[in-house]
């Protein structure tokens, strides 16, 4: 049994050594025993490049509020329809207020009476025909009446709900005659002429997030993309996931965008010239990156420094220069530090 185990171990070591030194070429960079590997080439040249950062964001209305009542009262009348556009200050809801209106009229009559008495006593006081204290008492009564009128008007205002800003109303949640409580939702109001888009990116992309930075956003609901710009960046990085939130602004004159929509965000960096290699040319192991540079009928492994990426392409910032050729297709079949190749027409 031990003899069989020894034989199996010896075979495993032999096969492993053959694979490493035969197919990989070993650590000495020797070439594989097989013939030249057919590959296609890519020549590096300076190309226009724009850095991009991808993120997800949620749309919010420029202004948004939930229309509620501040007192417990029955709905007397609703002055709007579902989805209606309204202007700032437009009347939306009238709650029952007959008692308050009657009390207001009573206080107004009482004030008129007191003001007439004050005027009469002032004439008498100028002729010293009335005591000053009586005139002062009437003036006090008039001031009290004015305060009560202000109180009644405040109660009436609590029972009259107007649009705090212009926008589009949502669906109504109550009917005429219903008793509403403070905080109960009557409808919603959103100013959708412009939209805010909050999105989060890893903190390492902070250099891309500057007020005025152009961005593009898309959603599954529409084919076209929407253009906007970064308006502000949060003052703090989230210490848990090391991300930061930015807010962009979009014009929404046609009303296509709605609050709450999920958007795919692309932050656009500055336009510049860069050396690009196809993604399939780059081999990455941990933090090391290399490509196979073509030198005649040989491909040599060259370590490179990389920058940003875009779909299908990687920016090279060090290790290569304009005019160098790298292997594009066939990278997976190359071994060691050098490999014989046969460059095919691409």
Q: What is the 3-state secondary structure (H, E, C) of 164-223?
A: CCCEEECCCCCCCCCEECECCEEEEEEEEEEEEEEEEEEHHHHHHCCCCCEEEEECCCCC
Res 29 pLDDT > 50: no
Residue 35 exposed, middle or buried by CB count within 10 Å (0-12, 13-18, 19+): exposed
DSSP string across 50-111: EEEEEEEEEEEEEEEEEEEBSS-EEEEEE---TT-EE-TT-EEEEE--HHHHHHHHHHHHHH
Question: By percentage, how much of the chain surpasses pLDDT 70?
Answer: 90
HSE-up (13 A, CA, CB side) for residue 279? 6
Q: Which residues, at least 6 apart from 255, have a Cβ–Cβ distance to it below 8 Å?
A: 168, 192
Dihedral of CA atoms 98, 99, 104, 110 in degrees, nearest 10, equals 130
What is residue 330's predicted lDDT score, i.e. its pLDDT?
86
Coil, helix or strand at residue 9: helix
Q: Write down the architecture of domain 30-51+273-343 according to CATH.
A: Beta Barrel (2.40)
DSSP bridge pairs for 268: 52
The 8-class DSSP code of residue 36 comes to P
CA-closest candidate to residue 112, choices 138, 132, 135: 138
Q: How many CB atoms lie within 10 A of CB 145?
A: 20
Question: Tens digits of per-residue pLDDT, 189-238?
Answer: 999 999 999 998 888 778 778 888 888 898 988 888 898 889 999 988 98
Q: Is 31 in contact with 37 (CB distance < 8 Å)?
A: no
What is residue 188's predicted lDDT score, i.e. its pLDDT?
94
Domain with CATH 2.40.420.20 in the chain: 30-51+273-343
Q: How far is CA 235 from the centre of its chain?
A: 15
Superfamily of domain 53-62+192-269: Efflux pump adaptor protein, beta barrel domain (2.40.30.170)
Separation between Cα atoms, residue 335 and residue 292, nearest integer Å:
10
What is residue 262's predicted lDDT score, i.e. its pLDDT?
92
Separation between Cα atoms, residue 46 and residue 43, nearest integer Å:
10
As given in the structure block, the two tokens for residue 70 are: 């501040």
Where is 157: in which H helix or E strand?
helix 132-158
DSSP bridge pairs for 275: 46, 316
Separation between Cα atoms, residue 92 and residue 65, nearest integer Å:
14
Res 247 pLDDT > 60: yes
Q: CATH: 1.10.287, 1.10.3470, 1.10.3210, 1.10.8. Which one for 101-156?
A: 1.10.287
CA-closest candidate to residue 71, choices 178, 179, 175, 165: 179
9-13, 73-77, 92-96, 103-107, range with the lowest pLDDT: 9-13
Mean pLDDT computed over 277-303 = 89
What is residue 34's predicted lDDT score, i.e. its pLDDT?
61
Res 75 pLDDT > 60: yes
What is residue 211's predicted lDDT score, i.e. its pLDDT?
87
Question: By percentage, how much of the chain surpasses pLDDT 90?
Answer: 25
Domain with CATH 1.10.287 in the chain: 101-156
Dihedral of CA atoms 270, 275, 276, 280 in degrees, nearest 10, equals -140
């Amino acid at each position: 049994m031990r003899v069989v185990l020894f034989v199996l171990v010896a075979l495993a070591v032999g096969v492993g050594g053959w694979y490493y030194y035969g197919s990989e070429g070993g650590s000495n960079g020797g070439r594989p025993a097989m013939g030249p590997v057919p590959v296609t080439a890519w020549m590096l040249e300076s190309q226009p490049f724009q850095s991009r950062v991808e993120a997800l964001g949620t749309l919010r209305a420029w202004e948004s509020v939930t229309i509620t009542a501040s007192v417990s009262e029955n709905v007397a009348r609703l002055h709007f329809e579902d989805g209606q556009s309204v202007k700032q200050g437009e009347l939306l809801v009238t709650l029952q207020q007959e008692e308050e209106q009657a009390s207001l009229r009573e206080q107004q009559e009482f004030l008129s009476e007191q003001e007439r008495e004050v005027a009469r006593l002032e004439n008498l006081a100028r002729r010293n025909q009335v005591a000053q204290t009586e005139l002062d008492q009437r003036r006090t009564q008039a001031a009290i009446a004015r305060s009560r009128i202000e109180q009644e008007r405040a109660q009436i205002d609590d029972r009259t709900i107007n649009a705090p800003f212009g926008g589009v109303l949502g669906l109504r949640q109550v009917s005429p005659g219903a008793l509403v409580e403070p905080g109960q939702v009557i409808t919603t109001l959103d100013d959708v002429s412009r939209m805010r888009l909050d999105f989060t990116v890893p903190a390492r992309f902070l250099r891309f997030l500057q007020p005025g930075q152009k961005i593009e956003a898309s959603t599954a609901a529409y084919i076209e993309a929407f253009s906007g710009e970064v308006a502000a960046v949060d003052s703090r990085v989230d210490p848990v996931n090391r991300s930061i939130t930015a807010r962009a602004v979009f014009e929404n004159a046609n009303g296509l965008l709605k609050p709450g929509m999920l958007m795919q965000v692309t932050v656009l960096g500055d336009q510049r010239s860069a050396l690009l290699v196809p993604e399939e040319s780059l081999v990455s192991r941990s933090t090391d990156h290399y490509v196979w540079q073509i030198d005649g009928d040989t491909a040599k492994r060259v370590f490179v420094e990389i920058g940003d990426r875009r779909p299908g392409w990687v920016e090279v910032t060090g290790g290569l220069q304009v005019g160098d050729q790298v292997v594009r297709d066939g990278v997976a079949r190359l071994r060691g530090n050098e490999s014989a190749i046969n460059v095919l027409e691409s």
